[in-house]
Amino acid sequence: MYNNGMDQNRLISNYRLLHRIPEPGFSEFKTQDFIIEHLSKINGIALHKAAGTGLLVYKPGKCGCRTIAFRADMDGLPLTEATGLEYASTHPGFMHACGHDGHMAILMELILSTRDSEFDNNLLFIFQPAEEGPGGAASIIKDDSFARFKPDAVYGLHVFPDLPSGCAASRKGPFFAGVREFILRFQGVEAHAATGSKRNSLLAAVNTVHSSLAKVNASIREPFLFHFGRFSSGVRVNIIAPEALVEGTMRVFCKKTRDRITRILTAEAMREAASRNLEMELQFRCEYPVLRNSGPETALAGSACRGAGLSFREHDPLYLGEDFAYYLEHIPGAFLLLGVHDNDCAGKLHTRDFCFNPSLLSSGVKLLREIALLEDARTGRMPDYQCKEP
């Protein structure tokens, strides 16, 4: 028996309270406590801490043949909020600028509103830390608690200000790009600009490497993005700097393309260092795989959108990175974008003024609820599945 007990006021209240307490990845202690406080009194579910500050909430099904997982990310971003909201961040230097507060509120309301409902499948609700880095999904997957539940399918969504409200979007196959971030460091000899050798200029070395990578665009047919995002060097206008630091990112939809760009970047940096008599260090970090949605689950999610009163669009691949991709390397599933653009929406993701109308979160609750119901119906058409005990 299914009972729709969604409470819009409770949903918005939880969203606003979560918005006030953004925390960095793997430090979501207040956030974890908040979720536990609101869910621990519900009968028929089990709460398990995972990956330090994460939380797994398990609701057994009537037959328990399959386990369907839903994920919400938890961490905030190191930005000083400029939304002017009455419920703005109370943590200086941090804000929820990527909608993770909304994702958690949706998942909490899904649990709260279905407390008296019975599903055929087991449901696993994943509150995951550190999506923004260094990859909390990988830590959840490695946790013994997660391995115990063995999900058969996994779903996630993300509020998206570039889509109108009343709309959701996804696509089968590659959806979000694989990410590899890097730190490039050149070290040379500090000298006065009038007496030092221009040959040893670290600024020139960085510029040459960047120009060389820009020329690669014509030789690689697969789509990719390569960007130098942060550059630090210099101590005074008339001094040749002793060190230059560059941080950047590459975004690809193919592992071979990522590896080729990595080889080119490494070779160009080594060549510049050798030609200018510089020391060079190149480090890679924060690697997320390509997010690849599986076909059947994407189709089911599209049907769920219509059942939830949302229009569904097939979206072009995006250069955004998302560690939900780690789940999809092990489990079939789908990741969706939930449109939140209307007159109350401001800013973009990862900006200080990002905000949206929290009443739109109810469509996310309805969408995940419909996915759970369609997965129940799907299980009923799978006679080969046997009940399993977690």
Cα angle value 34/35/39 (rounded, 5°): 120
Catalytically annotated residue among 23, 109, 120, 132: 132
pLDDT at 273 over 80: yes
C-alpha dihedral sign at 17, 18, 22, 26: positive
Contact 339, 167 (CB under 8 A): yes
pLDDT bracket for residue 303 (50, 70, 90): very high
pLDDT bracket for residue 195 (50, 70, 90): confident
pLDDT the model gives residue 135: 83
Domain 8-175+290-380 part of CATH 3.40.630.10: yes
Cis ω before 134 (30° cut-off from 0) = yes
Q: How far apart are CA 164 and CA 338, in angstroms?
A: 9
Active site residue 101: no
Per DSSP, the residues of 3-46 read -----HHHHHHHHHHHHT----TT--HHHHHHHHHHHTT-TT-E
**Whole-number Cα distances in Å, 291 to 124, 315, 326, 335, 336:** 21, 13, 8, 8, 11
What is the average per-residue pLDDT within 158-162? 97
Give per-residue pLDDT as tens, 49-96: 999 999 999 999 998 889 999 999 999 999 999 999 999 999 999 999
Contact 357, 344 (CB under 8 A): yes
Contact 127, 59 (CB under 8 A): no
Q: What percentage of the chain exceeds 90 in pLDDT? A: 82
Tell me which residue has tokens 């696509």: 171
Domain boundaries, the chain: 8-175+290-380, 178-288
- Any idea which of 96-110, 285-299, 343-357, 371-385 has the lowest mean pLDDT? 371-385
Radius of gyration of the chain (CA): 24
Q: What is the mean pLDDT of the chain?
A: 93
Catalytically annotated residue among 73, 131, 181, 272: 73
Contact 115, 29 (CB under 8 A): no
Give per-residue pLDDT as tens, 309-325: 999 999 999 999 999 99
Specify the higher pLDDT residue, 216 or 261.
261
pLDDT the model gives residue 201: 82
pLDDT at 183 over 60: yes
pLDDT bracket for residue 218 (50, 70, 90): low
pLDDT bracket for residue 3 (50, 70, 90): low
Neighbours of 161 (CB within 10 A): 21
pLDDT bracket for residue 328 (50, 70, 90): very high
pLDDT at 389 over 60: no
pTM exceeds cut of 0.75 = yes
Active site residue 37: no
pLDDT at 13 over 90: yes
pLDDT at 390 over 70: no
Fold of 178-288: Alpha-Beta Plaits (3.30.70)
Specify the higher pLDDT residue, 199 or 273.
273
36-39: list long-range contacts, CB under 8 Å, 24+ apart. 38/14, 38/108, 38/112, 39/108, 39/111, 39/112
Q: How far apart are CA 338 and CA 62, in angstroms?
A: 30
